[in-house]
Structure 1
Amino acid sequence: EAPHLLRYLGFFPSEEEIASRILPQVITKSVVILVQKIRDK
């Protein structure tokens, strides 16, 4: 996968850094989607 190659080349941060950046966004989006589904019902 490209991300792994980029990480080896030094373009990508460590997986811990990626998780700390991406996880909050993913959780926020999931919550927003759940709220929208609840409102639609």
Structure 2
Amino acid sequence: MLSKKYKFARPDIETIPWNSREVCIGDRFGNRIVFFENLQK
């Protein structure tokens, strides 16, 4: 999927400072959905 150059749907896993990882997917209308995983043990 990353081989195609979509302008809006280019998700990337990001490590957030408050100890979680997130993937945010947005569209051209400003909608977005966020998936996250808490890394705290």
Q: TM-score, structure 2 length as denominator?
A: 0.22
TM-score by length of 1: 0.22
User: Which is helix-richer, 1 or 2?
Assistant: 1
